[in-house]
Each structure stands twice: as structure tokens, then as C-alpha cells.
């Protein structure tokens, strides 16, 4: 069904939910066949057949449904001519479309479509995927409007729920979150920090230590770490280093903030997600759960570390 009467932001999210599910099954198929086709894009930066195929599926499907929308994927330009027909997803999630569109996005007309950018990370947590930490793997589809991350999808292809595998979480600022049950972590003297397991360095360590955490969860992927915040497992996500890109943070930021959390750089500023945005999140990622004072966490990040990162 085309649902052309619904506002564009709602339609992109509804299409994204369906296509992320399909991408997740492609990721599982590649793993079960066992031929990962690993390419080292640069040091500490891998790509597999699952990243490539998932990206083709997502970009081809969304391009077909939304030919006027700018879509930017991690794995660059994909050959969309020869993709299997079963990778083309044209459905939009009917359940999601039962929600009312926040007023803010009701008036986005066809002429304003150049203010909308879709950021696609076809497989977040590639290192963990190749090492068998499959629960850390996610598919991320984020939507920005006027440079702000407003909506997103985090799909976990290996999430187990009884007999079912996979789950899809969505969020839209002004509407809220869905696809899971958020849990708000308590402030009871504990302070749990989640951080990188595969891109750890001195700068990340100094920032984490400055928060005096009572526990450190080292897990893979920006999507999975934001899920730790949304499900009450960690108070803050700390990555005081360049490395993450706009496709890593657009969807997680939008979903986290749709639930009342915050995601910024180490200075406490939001990134811009416009079409011309620099891909690298040069000033790192600091995210906090709804119940945590974000500015307080920013204030605790050492000044010398901030100076080293900003060059000021
Ligand atoms: N130095 C880096 N080089 C490439 N990608 C990085 C780097 N640091 C972080 N990322 C991306 O950000 C995600 C979160 O990082 P981390 O798990 O280290 O906290 C990674 O899974 C990776 O996304 P991807 O797996 O999609 O390439
Ligand atoms: Mg990558
Ligand atoms: Mg990523
Ligand atoms: Mg990726």
C-alpha cells in the first residue's frame, strides 16, 4: 500500500521499519552461509558482504519509494541495477502508520523535501559481527529534517524473544518511541558507563575515568550502546574520540531524544545532519539516559581532553 496521504516523515519511518527487517534477515543469511567477504576499508574499519548487501537492500528500496529524498549510506554508492527482486521492499508498516504525525511534520510539502536527509548504517557493529558478538549488531536508519536528527529505526537482527528473532525499535521526536519497553535507570549512587569495545584509546579512557563509573560496559556499535541507555542498563555512553559518523548517530540520537535522553559531542553541542554535513563526528559522542543530567556529564569531561579534540 502506498499510503501517499500520510506525511513524508511518517512514510519514511514506516518504510524503514519494513526494510530494516528485511536487511536484518540478509545479515543473518550471510552469517549462516559463513562467507563474510571481509574487506579492510582502513585500519580498524571492516566491511563484510552483509554490510554491502544490507546497504543495497535499504538504499534500493527507499530510493524506489522516495525518489526525491537524499539518502546517504555508510558503504558509499551501491550498484542498484542488479539486486535480487526479493531485496526490494515496497511495504510500509501499517501498525506504525496508525500513530498520529506530530504537528511539526504535517506541513512538510513536496517542495521542502530537500530539507529531509536519510542516514543509513546498513550494519552497525561490523567488528563485533565478524567476532561473533551478534547481539551488538544493529541496522540504523535515521531521518533528519532541517539538519536535526528527528526520527530513526534501530533494528537488532539477533535479538531473541522466545522463538522469535529480531526486533525493530523506532522513535520520532514529538511522538515517542515504540517496538520495545523503555526502562528509566535510577540514580541510586551507581553510575554505569557504556563505551566502545573495539575502538578504545587513551582519550576514551580518560573521559570514562573522569566520570568515576561504578561499572563499565564495553559493547560494540552506536545503536547497541544507545539501547543500553534506553533499557535502563547504563547512565551514559562515552566515546571521546573521532570515529563515529553521521549514519552511526542519526537514528540513535533521534530515538534517544524522542524518549527524553540527549546525544551530543564532547562540548555538549548537537551534530548537524544536513546533506552537506561532514560525515565524521570529530568531537566524539556523549549520550545520557533520560534520568541523567547531560550538562553535568559534559562538565566532568576534562578540559584538556576537550582542548585536544577541538584544537582550542
Ligand atoms: N575508528 C573507527 N573507524 C570506523 N568506524 C568506527 C570507528 N569508531 C567507531 N566507528 C563506528 O561507530 C560504531 C560504534 O563504535 P564502537 O563500537 O567502537 O563504540 C562502530 O560500530 C563503527 O560503525 P560500523 O560498525 O557501522 O562501521
Ligand atoms: Mg563500518
Ligand atoms: Mg556504524
Ligand atoms: Mg556500519
Residues with CB under 6 A from ligand 1: 44-45, 74, 121, 123-126, 196, 198-199, 220-222, 239, 243-244, 248
Q: CB 266: neighbour CB atoms within 10 A?
A: 25
Considering only CA atoms, which residue is closest to atom 4 of ligand 1?
45
Specify the pLDDT at position 58: 98
Measured in whole angstroms, the distance separating CA 87 from the mean position of its chain's CA atoms is 21
pLDDT of residue 79: 81
Q: What is the pLDDT of residue 3?
A: 52
* Beta strand pairing call for 262-264 and 285-288: antiparallel
93 is catalytic: no
Give the confidence band of 5 by pLDDT, cuts at 50, 70, 90: low
**Residue 293 pLDDT more than 50?**
yes
Residues near 216 by beta carbon (within 8 Å), at least 6 away in sequence:
192, 193, 194, 195, 208
ipTM of model: 0.98
**Tens of pLDDT along 136-164?**
999 999 999 999 999 999 999 999 999 99
Tell me the DSSP string of 80-91. Answer: -TT--GGG----
How far apart CA 262 and CA 241 sit, in angstroms, is 18
Please give the distance, rounded to the nearest whole angstrom, from the Cα atom of residue 248 to the centre of ligand 2. 9
**pLDDT one-digit tens code per residue, 244-287:** 999 999 999 999 999 999 999 999 999 999 999 999 999 999 99
Tell me which residue has cell 526494510.
19
Pairwise CA distance, residues 41 & 253, whole Å: 25
User: In the chain, what are the domains?
Assistant: 8-178 (3.30.540.10), 192-310 (3.40.190.80)
Amino acid at each position: 500500500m502506498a499510503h501517499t496521504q500520510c506525511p513524508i516523515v511518517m512514510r519514511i519511518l514506516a518504510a524503514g521499519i519494513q526494510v530494516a527487517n528485511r536487511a536484518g534477515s540478509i545479515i543473518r543469511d550471510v552469517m549462516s552461509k559463513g562467507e563474510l567477504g571481509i574487506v579492510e576499508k582502513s585500519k580498524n574499519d571492516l566491511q563484510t558482504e552483509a554490510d554491502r548487501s544490507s546497504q543495497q537492500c535499504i538504499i534500493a528500496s527507499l530510493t524506489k519509494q522516495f525518489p526525491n529524498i537524499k539518502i546517504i549510506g555508510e558503504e558509499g554508492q551501491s550498484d542498484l541495477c542488479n539486486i535480487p527482486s526479493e531485496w526490494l521492499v515496497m511495504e510500509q508498516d501499517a501498525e506504525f502508520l496508525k500513530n498520529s504525525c506530530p504537528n511539526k511534520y504535517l506541513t512538510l510539502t513536496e517542495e521542502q523535501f530537500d530539507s529531509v536527509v536519510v542516514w543509513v548504517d546498513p550494519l552497525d557493529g561490523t567488528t563485533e559481527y565478524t567476532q561473533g558478538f551478534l547481539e551488538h549488531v544493529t541496522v540504523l536508519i535515521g531521518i533528519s529534517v532541517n539538519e536535526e536528527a528527528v526520527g530513526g529505526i534501530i533494528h537488532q537482527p539477533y535479538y531473541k524473544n522466545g522463538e522469535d528473532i529480531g526486533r525493530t525499535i523506532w522513535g520520532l521526536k514529538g511522538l515517542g518511541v515504540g517496538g520495545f519497553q523503555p526502562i528509566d535507570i535510577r540514580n541510586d549512587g551507581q553510575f554505569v558507563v557504556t563505551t566502545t569495545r573495539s575502538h578504545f584509546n587513551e582519550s576514551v579512557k580518560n573521559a570514562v575515568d573522569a566520570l568515576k563509573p561504578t561499572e563499565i560496559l564495553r559493547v560494540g556499535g552506536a545503536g547497541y550502546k544507545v539501547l543500553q541507555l534506553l533499557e535502563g542498563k547504563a547512565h551514559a555512553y562515552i566515546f571521546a574520540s573521532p570515529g563515529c559518523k553521521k549514519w552511526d548517530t542519526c537514528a540513535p540520537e533521534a530515538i534517544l531524544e524522542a524518549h527524553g535522553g540527549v546525544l551530543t559531542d564532547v562540548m555538549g553541542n548537537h551534530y548537524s545532519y544536513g546533506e552537506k554535513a561532514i560525515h565524521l563526528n570529530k568531537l566524539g559522542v556523549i549520550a545520557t539516559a533520560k534520568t541523567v543530567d547531560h550538562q553535568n556529564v559534559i562538565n566532568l569531561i576534562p578540559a584538556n581532553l576537550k582542548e585536544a579534540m577541538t584544537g582550542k
